Amino acid sequence: MGHVRDRMDADLRLAGRAESTRKDYLSCARRFVKFFMRAPDRLSEEDVRRFMLHITDERKLAVGTRLQYLGAIKFLFTVTLKRPEVVADIPWPRRKRRDPIVPTRQEVEQLIDATNSPYWRAFFLTAYAAGLRRMEVVALRAEHIDSHSGLIRVEHGKGDKPRCVRLDPHLLGELRDHWRNHRLPGPWLFPSPIPRGGWRDQPITRAAASSAFRRIADKTKLRRALTLHSLRHAYATHLLEDGVNLRKLQVLLGHERIETTALYTRVTTDAIQATPSLLRKLHL
C-alpha cells in the first residue's frame, strides 16, 4: 500500500485509535489490497463485496474477524481515501448474541489449583480477581498496582479507555510474591521470558497467555469449552451473584453500553447449583 498505508496509519492516530486497533486495521487493509493486487484507490464497491463474500463463504472467518476487516476497509475508504460512497452500502455482518460460558467458583478453583507454574498462577488470578481482559493483564506494569489506594489502574482498556478496578488484598500478596520470586526487573508485571533465563523488556504475548490457559483447561478435563476470557465472565457473574449492582459492574468491566453488561444477568453458576430440590419434599 505504500504511501496510502502511511496516511491511513496517521489517520488512525489522529482518530485516537488504540495501538492494537491500528495494527489490526492496517493488517486487514493490507490483506484486502493484496487480494486484488491493485492500488486501493482503483478498487470499487464491487471489489469490497467480492472480498467480504470471499472471507465469509470461502474462508469461513468468524463474525468478529469479518467485522474487523470491514471496519478497516470502511476506515480506509471513508477517511483515508475520501471515497465513502464505495462502502456506504456494504452491510455489517450480524453477530449472534450468545450467553457466555461461565465457570463456577469451584471450576475456577480447579483451574488455579491445576496451574503448576507460579507465573501463570499469578496471571490467571489477576484475570479473575480484577476481571481484566487478556490484553489488559498483559499490559500491566508495576506502577499500575496502587497498594495505598487499593486499586489497579487499567491504562489502556478496550477502545483505549482507562479505568480503575479494586485490588484484592489477597491478589496484592500474590503479586508481591510473584515479583520477588521471579526477580522481575520491571516495568512489566508479566514480562516475556528469555529461554536461557532472564526477562525481555516487553510483556508476554496474548497468544502465549491463551495457550497456557488451554493447557491448564485440558489438564483439568472440564467438559465445557472454557477460554482465558472465561475468567472475566466468571468475575462478572460471581459479583452479580454476590449483590453488586449492574451499573457498578458496568464501570468495573469498562463496558460502554449497559446492555452489554446486562447479558450477565441471564447467566448464573453457583446460584443454579444452590436452587432447592423440590423432589426432596415429595414422598416418592
Virtual CA dihedral for 60, 18, 164, 103, nearest 10 degrees?
10
Whether 125 and 258 share a structural domain: yes
CB 133 within 8 A of CB 120: no
CB 123 within 8 A of CB 117: no
CA distance 216 to 222: 10
Q: Helix %, strand %, coil % for the chain, to 5? A: 60, 5, 35
Determine the 3-state secondary structure of 154 from DSSP: strand
The total domain count for the chain is: 2
Q: Is this model's pTM higher than 0.75 or not? A: no
pLDDT tens by residue, 127-185: 999 999 999 999 999 999 999 999 999 998 887 788 999 999 999 999 999 999 999 99
Which CATH number goes with the domain that contains 154?
Answer: 1.10.443.10
Cis ω for the linkage preceding 187 (within 30 of 0): yes
Whether 109 maps to a domain, the answer reads yes
Determine the 3-state secondary structure of 163 from DSSP: strand
The pLDDT of residue 268 is 62
Report the catalytic residues. Answer: 133, 158, 229, 232, 255, 264
Whether 276 maps to a domain, the answer reads no
| pLDDT by residue, tens only, the chain of 284 residues | 679 999 999 999 999 888 888 999 999 999 999 999 999 999 999 999 999 999 999 999 989 899 999 999 999 999 999 999 999 999 999 877 677 788 999 999 999 999 999 999 999 999 999 999 999 999 999 999 999 999 999 998 887 788 999 999 999 999 999 999 999 998 999 999 999 889 999 999 999 999 999 999 999 988 788 999 999 999 999 998 888 888 998 989 988 888 888 877 776 665 555 555 555 656 65
CA distance 13 to 23: 11
Whether 147 and 30 share a structural domain: no
Whether 205 maps to a domain, the answer reads yes
The pLDDT of residue 283 is 61
Structural domain boundaries enclosing 131: 105-270
